[in-house]
Amino acid sequence: MIRIVDVREVPDLLADAVNYFWEQWGSDTNLNFYRDCIENSCATESDIPRFYLALEDQKVIGSYALLRSDLNSRQDLFPWFACLYIDPEHRGHKLGAMLQDHAIQQAGLKGYDRLYLCTDLTEYYERNHWRYIGGGYSIGGEEMRIYEYRMRD
């Protein structure tokens, strides 16, 4: 059975979580960035950032995060849904949609009425009712598509 947990709920998996996020989204030079961010997210009283894992038994098979910023030019928008990743052998079973739904629920429970994401993908997020709202730029200067999910209008 697959369950989705906040990294704060599984302190024994903290090192695994750091490595999982870093291996999917990091580079040779930024392991400390991921470690610092995830460890401090576990220590703050603030509602974000939060990092989540999809677990099958105790094995990490997917992830996502709720962040204040996703390193793009639209600092006026928050919170951000980021770091969605599903292990290749678990793709095609709607786990991505499950993680998106979990994020939407968590953001709503935290009192947010909108959630944002940036991506270079097209058509994937629209299937789960995300709405394209325009472009923005990554810290490296690449143009990114920005999507919004409205919990309530």
Length of the chain: 153
Confidence tier at 153 by pLDDT (50, 70, 90) = low
Give the residue from 97, 150, 40 showing the smallest Cα distance to 51: 40
What CA–CA distance (Å, rounded) separates 60 from 40?
20
Residue 109 CB: number of other CB atoms within 10 A?
A: 10
Confidence tier at 138 by pLDDT (50, 70, 90) = confident
Give the residue from 109, 111, 103 showing the smallest Cα distance to 149: 103
pLDDT digits (tens, 9 = 90+) for 23-60: 999 999 999 999 999 999 999 999 999 999 999 998 99
Tokens of 45: 């009283």
Fold of 2-150: Aminopeptidase (3.40.630)
Radius of gyration of the chain from its Cα atoms, rounded to whole angstroms: 15
pLDDT at 25: 92
| 52, 99 contact by CB (below 8 A) | yes
